Amino acid sequence: MAETTEAALPKGFRSAELGWPELHRIPHPPHRVPLVGDVIGANVRSPLQDSMKFGRQLGPVFRRRAFRNEIVFVWGSDLAAELADESRFAKHVGLGIANLRPVAGDGLFTAYNHEPNWQLAHDVLAPGFSREAMEGYHPMMLAVTERLTDRWDREQAAGRTVDVPGDMTKLTLETIARTGFGHDFASFERSRPHPFVNAMVGTLTYAQRLNVVPVPLAPLLLRGASRRNAADMAYLNRTVDAVVASRRADGGEGDLLDRMLETAHPETGARLAPENIRRQVITFLIAGHETTSGALSFALHYLARHPAVAARARAEVDRVWGDTGRPGYEQVAKLRYVRRVLDESLRLWPTAPAFAREARHDTLLGGVHPMRQGAWALVLTAMLHRDPEVWGADAEEFDPDRFDAKAVRARPAHTFKPFGTGARACIGRQFALHEATLVLGLLLRRYDLAPEPGYRLRVAERLTLMPEGLRLRLERRTPVVPGREATLARAAE
């Protein structure tokens, strides 16, 4: 089989027939329409959920066509494990990810494999996610969560429900902005989302829309959207340039931005160029809050819908944290059941719902489907996490005990992938998990959560996933500290 340098791998979007010699063997939806493809029954606003529907019908490997572009989807656990093999496959930057390159360029998330800046940035920034660094971020995570609870206390006292996705977005944006870049967006002092959030959502939504519009027609069909996207990108760039300029003027704070500005690669001495620093900051501000806010929102939805699970998680918080006002860094990892709740929410709705992999050389997928070098497939994480051969016949049900330590050890590798896979997996995984577990613990200790009557989960798609229209009713509670009553009684004798 032929093998060439990684620099020669195809970049951006490549239709499947260019890389899959026996594409005809892979099933596709019925009623394909000439020229336009598999449009019957499709919804341009929910391409991921459409693909999940077709995946259930067509099996663990299938294809879909939109105009001239055909995509191979994979969700079977055996095939996904093959695609996770770094010796055979690498990250593929395509679909909506490549559409973000005008604003994120060769940032960590959107760089092509042959571009040097992703490895340089990864090596420079990795110490910023060490245990020591995480312990330093912890007090700021607590402070931002206290701003959230102040807001929720006021809403609860006024008898109002809370906007979960909106408030989780404010929380996670402030957390990454403060811990990573020493910047305060003052999100909780605003009645509406910060313009940065609106611009970010605009660019993500536009990137997704480009996937379903023929390239020659995009200037005509998306003329107005293109102008708005250009304005959104310009705003993101101006905002980040101001943050960087302020740091250069005021000096360092020992955070991620300082690493970008001051740290050279430990082996080569190379430094990140100013333009790449801008791209990395945009990447972190978007990826560092958008996916975590979705994960928290889904977890709160499931906690409100499953009172027994919430009670068990709350009892763990009361037992582990006791009457500690501000839990320490080490106490967060001890919330093992709360972490299971988070993991199970990410299983059902991984907020980064898919990742693409491309062949490093000619190969056979599953011993059946030939792939040429550079051919790629999209792994549907949300379907991989529902594979009944791995997760059982009740895979659609919410059950945090799937992440009991014994159950995790019994499962095959590469079956739970909410943060992607391989060398290009999310660098901020531990940051996100610590933040989300801390926030869930603090909210469970403070509030009883109840859903709005009649609410049914609707999932909004903008490359990432978010529960749409989710509002919860809150009741303040007093933490129950095990053994405290007996201690007080003995002291009174």
Active site residues: 291, 419, 426
Neighbouring-strand partners of residue 464: 462
Give the closest residue to 467 by CA, choosing from 338, 339, 349: 349
Query: Letter for the amino acid at 489?
Result: A
How far apart, in whole angstroms, are the C-alpha atoms of residue 171 and residue 175? Answer: 6
Contact 302, 338 (CB under 8 A): no
Contact 359, 89 (CB under 8 A): yes
**Neighbour tally for 373: CB within 10 Å:** 19
Q: CA 455 from chain center: how many Å?
A: 24
Give the closest residue to 147 by CA, choosing from 172, 116, 129, 130: 172
Q: Which residues contact 235 (CB under 8 A, 6 or more apart)?
A: 195, 196, 199
Instruction: Please give the span between the terminal C-alpha atoms of the chain, in angstroms, as a whole number.
Output: 83
Contact 116, 267 (CB under 8 A): no
Q: Which residues contact 33 (CB under 8 A, 6 or more apart)?
A: 39, 40
Angle at 327 between CA 324 and CA 331, to 5 degrees: 115
Pairing, β 354-359 against β 376-380? antiparallel
